[in-house]
Chains A and B, each alone.
Chain A
Amino acid sequence: MREEQISTVVSVAAVGHAKFGKRKTEGIRELGYEAVSDLFQDLNMNHTDIDATVVGLAADSFSGQGAPAALIVDEIGLAEKPNIRVESACATGTAAIKTAYSMIKGGMHDTVLVLGVEKMTSISSSYATELMARAGDLRWEFPFGCSFPGYYALMASAHMDKYGTTREMLSSVGVKNHFYGAKNPNAHIQKEIGLEEAMNAVQIASPLNLYDCSLISDGAAAVLLTKKDLARKITDIPIDIIGIGSGSDTMQISSRRSLTSLVGTKRAAKVAYHMAGISSQDVDIAEVHDCFTIAEIMAMEDLGFYPPGEAGQAILDQQTYIGGKIPTNIDGGLKSKGHPLGATGISQAVEIFKQLRNEGKAVQVDGAKIGLSHNVGQTGQFVNVVLYKRGD
């Protein structure tokens, strides 16, 4: 029995996605509903046939609703199913996937609906900046008014000093992600930007400007996880989860030995690659956590795609576009698609699911078999790397 449980392959059987953006007329319940109804549309099972739900929602303070996970599942008629809420800051989505994966692996449930939701635009962007700053150490770092972009700006200053990473390299990340976001109907901002425009945007926390920062968005995304044999009854092409790794870091950014990489990402990647029996060279498509442009550069190095200090030039040379070495964030990433905290890691899974099934239409990596999702909470205090493989 135990051996059977351990050898259980957990697959993604179906996905759903709500439109990301400034969703003035919808609250968390409508957003969650939109992703779930998208998932079950045209599926040969009813949503009430699932065994349990895992809801990822990072911050009650944005929407004001306490116990939001209960509200959201009630809205979709699942109030009597086992439900659990997961929070790991901006890595909440992949934490929810990991939780559901572990439940299925452990034999607790067979089929679990994983739903990530966030409603962030009801408050002003300066108050949102205040709330996110409170995710730094309230006692010893918040009192200096270090904004969330400020934390990544500190890392950017160290990375630029150590490796000669340039303003142009940072901006090329945003240019790429907007190039692809412009083609994604679910993206928050469907507009391309120019390199000059990106380089000269208004300063937020130098060296980071407005176009280095991801978006404050409303949105939701959902995946249906189940045992592979059950997934085959739902779809001809299940997408298997072949590796999950996690890592973390110190709460105070000042306590870190290195400011030019995230130890949590390195650990998470190492564990995930080992579990899957692959290396970074086997990955065909990457979804990385580009909450800021410098974060994508550091991620590409920490995940093993490029040696330390070399990702910036590679991105500038368009190696991370489709046709390059490793297509990255071809759904627009957090920068252009948007970053509704709890939904982000699940949205990454949605894009990988489509790509590995060759459903990307206008934006498709031909023959992609393995996809990587990299999701970071705060400034590296929570990191999950999830590896997906086409399972037909």
Chain B
Amino acid sequence: MKFHPNEVQARSRAAAGTLFLAMVFLVGSFFRAQVVQHASYLLKSEENRLREVPLPAQRGMIRDRRGAVIAENVPGYTVSVLSPRQDSLRAVLARVATVIPISPEQTDLALRRFRRSANRPTVILNSASFDIVSRLEEHRLLFPGLIIQQTPKRFYPDGPAVASLVGYTGEVTEAELATAAYLGYKPGQQVGRVGLERQYEQRLRGHEGVRFVEVDARGRVVRDADTRDVVLPEPATPLNTNIDLDLQRFVAGIFGDSLTGAAVALDPVTGDVLALHSGPSFDPNRFIGGVSSAYYEQLRNDPRRPLLNKATQGRYPPGSTWKLATAVTALELGLVRMDEHMQVPCTGAYQYGNRPFKCHLAKGHGSLTLAQAIEQSCDVYFYQLGLKIGLDRLIAGGIKLGAGSRSGVDLPNDNRPFYPTEPVAEYFNRKYGPAGWSGQGPSLSLSIGQGENTQTVIGLAKFYTALAMGGEAVAPRIVRGDPIKSRIFDLDSATLAGLRDALTGVVSRGTAASARIQGVVMAGKTGTAQSGKVVAGKELNHAWFAGFAPADAPRIVVAVMLEFGGHGPRAAHIASKIIEHYLRAAPVTFIKTEGEW
């Protein structure tokens, strides 16, 4: 061994040098991590341990015009899980399934939610019962990362009675999350599905809060994080509507589960929607927290289509209720006066070309004035009036009266009616080919509300606000706001009075005489519209009634349509009940009861 002191000293220096270099290397590595990259590592350590748990906001209440509750929130529970990885979520779900029933679909759904936003707790159950929650709490230690939260749950105290109005809420779908309209939404959140819930989603949702929890390496929640502040959820302010809940209940009560159709009640001055119902209805409460597939299938397969809003979505030929549009168009053009007779008296049918066009009264009405023709709903009179106006002007008039426009109601499924567009010849050529229609032919059907014309119930109600208010139509509004009025026709006061008298006559002596209310002068028009659907050799008809009351100072406009519901007077009965209920009429005046039914 070489062990001279000089050599040893040289080796000592070499050893010390190696030690020094090694230490510089290590200290340098730590300097890089702890000083240079400190911020990024700090962030990583936060990401590591902090998980945001959303605090759902109270969805805004929906109230009626007097403040009564249409939609509110009740305490519910959501069960969710924080997992670091998909397989650990799967494992937790498998263990949860041993304690509470969880279907494979729910498992799949949870996994999909996890894949969308892994850092948020993955919702397993949207609305868990207290029983389920207590069973989970019992076995809490089995489930790392389990978060049970009290979450406001939507509740509609009147259930089916308000379903057509409010709709319901449901979890935002994956397809929706992919669209720009749902920017900022996260899986597991509730959104308005249809009705007001959807229309006013942004106003109703409130602002979700967030709290942070610390999780350990296995994803178990250790405690609330103290380093970051809790952001409290901001509840949405209540949505005040124009609905008269009492009337709404009454309307829904009339329809019950047996009548198919819709009824809309408007305040003709303000456009306030007082009631809007589509029957048969469904229970929106059963949609909260996920509708069962059995219930949903039952609704979907019901031939009466409960999920279709027949007041705003459904389009039906308006039938004789549309004769007022024909009359108004002709009056405005100066082609007719209220006391004017047509050339050909009604003999039960009108011969046009080589084809007879029937009147609903086979024995015929004889020669009538316009006022009488409205009262008696004489088809032959209106055929001739339509021909007199001419197809172009008839359709232009209809469009001016709103026949081709949406009602403007603040609901998501406010359908546009089917109505010919201008230029008229182009429209019919496109539809039937130049040889498929004759010059004035469509006028006959259109003048009595058949043919190329289907309207929504709420759209027709809007037209009748103009009849009630002397030409000024007002857009139906469910949520409070300023009335949006538009003048759709202009007639002198004598003509207006004549029109009103005619409509009053419908109820007091005419086709809806059976529906008159004691003490209230009601104006309106029945309609029996051919649906084109034939059962057992007989064509089914939609029964219509649209009208207002009191006739001299209208406070309510009602449109009622009974799908395949037979004749107009049936609808008129319902309308008069609605009006009576709303006006709570006292029997102060008797109206004349002569005339035909």
Do A and B form a real pair?
no
Residues of A at the B interface (CB closer than 8 Å) are: none
